[in-house]
Structure 1
Amino acid sequence: MRTPLRGRFTATAAAVLSLALALTLGAQAGAASPDGANGARASAEEIPGTYEVRGISSATQRSVLAAHGVSIDAVDDHSVTVTADKATAKRLRSMGYLLEEIRQAVPDALPQDASGGDFSVTSTPSQYTSYAQMTATVNSLVSRYPNLMHRQVIGRSHQGRDIIAVRMSNNARVDQNRPEVLFSHNMHAREHLTTEMALYLMNEFATGYGQDSRITTMMNTREIWIIPSLNPDGKVWDQDSGSFRNWRKNRQPNSGSTAIGTDINRNFAYRWGCCGGSSTNPASDTYRGPSAESAPETRVLTNFVRSRVIGGRQQITAHIDFHTYSELILWPFGYTYNDTAPGLNQDQLNVFATVGRQMAASNGYRPQQSSDLYITDGSISDWMWGDQGIWSYTFEMYPRTASQGGFYPPGSVINRETARNREAVLILLENADCMYRSIGKPQLCTT
């Protein structure tokens, strides 16, 4: 197991986040969802279970398992950790799969964290920034750094919440002709550490401008886009009741079913539903929706990315979609086991792998092509690259395993685990003007 790298969090960032975390519950209630996320507790049937499935050791076996409608959360040499509803778990057991439910650990019985810390791996929703607090924090930062940050609403969720994007540069209010890099977060509701990652990046680049030479150079030569929460309805539902609900999807009802939600990361149009990498069952955590881009949150993201095509050229050159957990850096394609495929030649694969490995060397994550884990279809990174030609990576953040907290590691790791990705983000930004330079072929970059 890799030892997590340590990092720092700026005093200004900590102060802004502390201010946001001090918001009253009344402010959070202002973002209450129509399905009663605040105060109302989900029934037992609505909270999916977490299971270890033993005897699974290959990408093919993992793909077959995922095709039964579970989401694979973490991979070990001979087992996987999955999320599944009780009906799916029962069906898998009847098929001969060895499932053991992973229940929340008792804090006093837990070993020390792998980094040597002495904290419990359990957490509570209040340890993470809520959607209302996130909004307040973003507004505070934009107000404090008006020249470096520009906030815009790029669309709304199914339940009508704002999905915001923040543009950062040395003159953020002006759309400049520069390479653009997009960082998206919180596509899956329960992955709250990714929203903390977004807030960390905004703080780090605002406070580092004029102080840190690399940050200053990037702010002077790039346009950085940050989407802190792509799934605000799911985030509120998972967090704001006071108890985590292990919720992954959005909160969009499904016609003809009592099951709620579409997996946004199986809903993109590129190779949607092509290859057994998503589910047709609305109750599944990997339900791909009735059609590509049927989820409003998916359309918000794709419409925004398409809007960055100016003069026939996509301005966004590189992208990271932050997820949890497993400590991985993944690149396309996810829909096929083949290393290269139509739309991904050997030079392009070499670029993905070279920059991916450079970033992994900085944060200790494991770099690999997405399908080396298991087949997925309709994913954001496949769409970003296959449809838009954007060099797109998926980061699976801390922890490595479910035993370290899974989707809900303790709030005490937030500063360390967000700062852990600082160097990786800078590596991508520095390569974003000509990714082919990483393999010694800058002549392949278009001008």
Structure 2
Amino acid sequence: MAKVDIAFDTYYDYEAMTGHLQALAAAYPELAKLSSIGKSHRGRDVWLMEITNPKTGPGTEKPGFYIDAQIHAEEHATSATALYGIWYMLTNYGTDEEVTRLLDAQVFYVIPRINPDGAELSLQEPYHPWCGNGRYLPGEDRIEGLIPQDVNGDGYIVNMRVPDPTGEWKKSERDPRLMVQREPGEEGGEYFRVYPEGLIRNFDGVHVKIEQQQDGNMNRNFPINWSPREYGSGDYPFSEPEAMAMGRLVLDHPNICGMCAYHTHGGIILRPSMLKYDAEMSPRDLALYKDIGGVGTRLTGYPVISTYEDFTPDKTKGRHGSLKDWVYEELGIICFSTELWDMERTAGVDKKGYMNLGPRDADTQQKVFDWVLDNVGDKGFRDWEAFDHPQLGPVEVGGMVYIWSYRNPPGKLLEEICHNNTLFNLRHAAAAPQVKIDKFEVEALGADLFKVSAVVANHGYLPTNLSDVAVENKVAKPVTISLDLENAKLIINPQTQDLGNLAGRNERKFTYSNWGPQWSPTAKPVEWLVKATGPGAKVTAVAVSQKGGTHRVSHELA
């Protein structure tokens, strides 16, 4: 029986989320440590839950796996999934073999809500479609043009359909509540312009200007190909306190060897690159991403796709400054961005692509509309309501509530999403390099001299350098083994020996062939000659891998 019961069919505000995290840390003090990695713009703590079994060694000496969620305010399913992962690991330790093995051998760093200010605003009526990260309140960053507001006071910000003979939209013949695109050359009907619900600042009476948000797209605030042209990218890399706290956590924990950043929506697992074609990536790294991602597809049903090739409609406008590309392209860490929840696929839509900004055809809209009415109700779709707009005249306000339809699933579907994606992260974490001293022997040679020999091996799937990029960037640290001596002195060979990188299982996907990849060593032998200098002489071998952990073995000289 779990010590802490949490319902995973709802979304929690900051106070409730904090309460759940504190309760879990208090219930499992032998496994969990809750701390704040920094403060948000408006003074809220950005919580980190560190999970490991300290009885098997400190977390800093174990391979680390990092999970974050809700960098974007409206993506509430991500925070729920991260919280579920924390709860699942803690409540299943000691009964689930995989969880127990992972918490004994590895450490998890989970940030369940990076953006607490934006999330709090997003959970409150009138459910703004974009809340940033708290630097500004919604709309404060707009200089002029349409400012999203709940003009009719129903607690939602949706759309306005404005009668206009030059408009791009018309009512669907199948259901007048749905808006479909006007065809090329089509004339003689009733047409509309569709705008976000709101009022217009400095309106010239003709053009409804809509500015891009400048606040809080923190997934453009990281130091990889950063560009001020990206909306919400900040004043400079790491200008936002929450992003800076994330970056500091990653850099201060060089044992991190795998990462997942949760987002919504789309039901896809995104991999690098954001600016390159696959042909420009390291073939070996690309294979790693596809193989590990393939496990994710099996467990979640989400396809693994390239951010640039499959998720960037206009290749002249690649995305800049993302966490995923920073940690891979600069630090060599294998990181995925999982876009949780695909409402269209759930509604039975035959998906033709992954980056669908619209317009959607009538059949697709009808399927989505019917599904939303059946499963979300008026929280997911607001019936059109006549409203006398002070600037646009007679309009109707209504349409899809994006945050509670496309962006986040209804509560009854949430736990399955949380569970399946947690299983993928556990399996990704289990692919970490694991450095062990497989053999440690002492041979007496006489005259108090001893030959000490050891074999250091990587038991993991990933190599100790993680990726080719890490080697190219010179951030991959070699595996070392040191010999600590007690009442003994070293005669031959350095006390600390550099073993370079040790390959992982990923390299040997096929039986050996002259035409295939040539294998690198997964294990290496070392030797020392030592002399006992007193009673109780002992030697301890310490194998250290920045990504593959630390392992110690001792032997008496007798």
Is the pair's TM-score, using the shorter chain for normalization, greater than 0.5?
yes
Report the Cα distance in structure 2 between the residues aligned to 1:368 and 1:212, rounded to whole angstroms.
Answer: 31
1:150 is aligned, of 25, 33, 41, to 33
The residue that corresponds to 2:307 in the other structure is 370
The residue that corresponds to 2:48 in the other structure is 165
2:126 aligned with 1:188: no
Residue type matched to 1:158 in 2? Answer: H
Residue type matched to 2:266 in 1? Answer: S
Percentage of matched positions with identical amino acids: 24
2:220 aligned with 1:266: yes
The one-character-per-residue Cα deviations of 1:151-199 (angstroms, maximum 9, x if unpaired) are 1111111111100111101128943401000000011100001111111
**Using a 3 Å threshold, how does the CA distance of structure 1 residues 438 and 266 change in structure 2: closer, same or farther?**
farther
Mean Cα displacement is larger for which, 383-392 or 399-408? 399-408
Q: What is the correspondence of 1:45-444 to structure 2 with a 5 Å cutoff?
A: 127-171=10-54, 174-239=58-123, 241-247=124-130, 249-253=132-136, 257=143, 261-273=215-227, 279-280=229-230, 286-308=231-253, 314-336=254-276, 338-341=277-280, 344-371=281-308, 372-374=310-312, 375-401=318-344, 403=368, 405-433=405-433, 434-436=461-463, 437=504, 439-441=506-508, 443=520
Contact 1:168 1:224 in 2 (8 A): yes
Q: Which runs of 5+ in 1 are unaligned?
A: 1-10, 22-125, 281-285, 309-313
Q: SS state of the match for residue 395, structure 1? A: strand
Report the Cα distance in structure 1 between the residues aligned to 2:521 and 2:327, rounded to whole angstroms.
Answer: 19
The structure with more radius of gyration: 2
* RMSD over equivalenced CA pairs, Å: 2.6
2:5 is aligned, of 5, 16, 27, to 16
Contact 1:332 1:369 in 2 (8 A): yes
Q: Which runs of 5+ in 2 are unaligned?
A: 145-212, 313-317, 348-367, 373-404, 434-460, 464-503, 509-518, 523-544, 549-558
Q: SS state of the match for residue 129, structure 1? A: coil
Contact 1:156 1:163 in 2 (8 A): yes
TM-score when normalising by structure 1: 0.65
Task: Give the total of aligned pairs.
Answer: 312
Shift of 1:298: 1.0
Shift of 1:409: 2.0
The one-character-per-residue Cα deviations of 1:361-396 (angstroms, maximum 9, x if unpaired) are 111001111112113211110011112221110001
More helix by share: 1
Relative contact order (C-alpha < 8 Å, sep 6+): which is higher? Answer: 1
Contact 1:332 1:370 in 2 (8 A): yes
Contact 2:260 2:337 in 1 (8 A): yes
Q: SS state of the match for residue 273, structure 2? A: coil
**Using a 3 Å threshold, how does the CA distance of structure 1 residues 443 and 430 change in structure 2: closer, same or farther?**
farther
Residue type matched to 2:263 in 1? Answer: H
Contact 2:269 2:337 in 1 (8 A): yes
Report the Cα distance in structure 2 between the residues aligned to 1:191 and 1:307, rounded to whole angstroms.
Answer: 27
Q: SS state of the match for residue 319, structure 2? A: coil
Contact 1:152 1:166 in 2 (8 A): yes
Residue type matched to 1:265 in 2? Answer: N
The one-character-per-residue Cα deviations of 1:15-74 (angstroms, maximum 9, x if unpaired) are 5325xx9xxxxxxxxxxxxxxxxxxxxxxxxxxxxxxxxxxxxxxxxxxxxxxxxxxxxx
More strand by share: 2
Shift of 1:346: 1.2
Shift of 1:248: 5.1
Contact 2:223 2:326 in 1 (8 A): yes
TM-score when normalising by structure 2: 0.52
Contact 2:81 2:422 in 1 (8 A): no
Report the Cα distance in structure 2 between the residues aligned to 1:184 and 1:388, rounded to whole angstroms.
Answer: 17
